[in-house]
Amino acid sequence: MTVSMPSAELIFDGKHGTGESPVWVPEEQALYWVDIPAQRIWNWLASTGKTRSWLLPEKVGCIACIGGDKWLAAMETGVFSVTLNADDSVSTALLAKADHASINMRFNDGRCDRQGRFLAGTMFMDMAAARAVGAVSTFAANGEQRVLLDRVIVPNGMAFSPDGATMYLADSHPSVQLIWAFDYDTRAGTPSNKRVFVDMNPLPGRPDGAAVDADGCYWICGNDAGLIHRFTPQGKLDRSLAVPVKKPAMCAFSGVNLDTLFVTSIRPGGVDLEDQPLAGGVFALHPGVRGIAEPKFVV
Encode pLDDT of 87-111 as tens digits.
Answer: 999 999 999 999 999 999 999 999 9
- As a whole number of angstroms, the distance between CA 194 and CA 148 comes to 12
Measure the CA–CA gap between 126 and 104, rounded to whole angstroms. 8
pLDDT at 98 (0 to 100): 95
The one catalytic residue in 87, 208, 215, 272 is 208
Residue 109 is among the residues annotated as catalytic for this protein: no
Read off the pTM: 0.96
- Taking the C-alpha atoms of residue 258 and residue 292, their distance in angstroms, rounded to an integer, is 7
Does residue 168 register a pLDDT over 90?
yes
Taking domain 3-285, whether its CATH number is 2.120.10.30 is answered by: yes
Contact 202, 1 (CB under 8 A): no
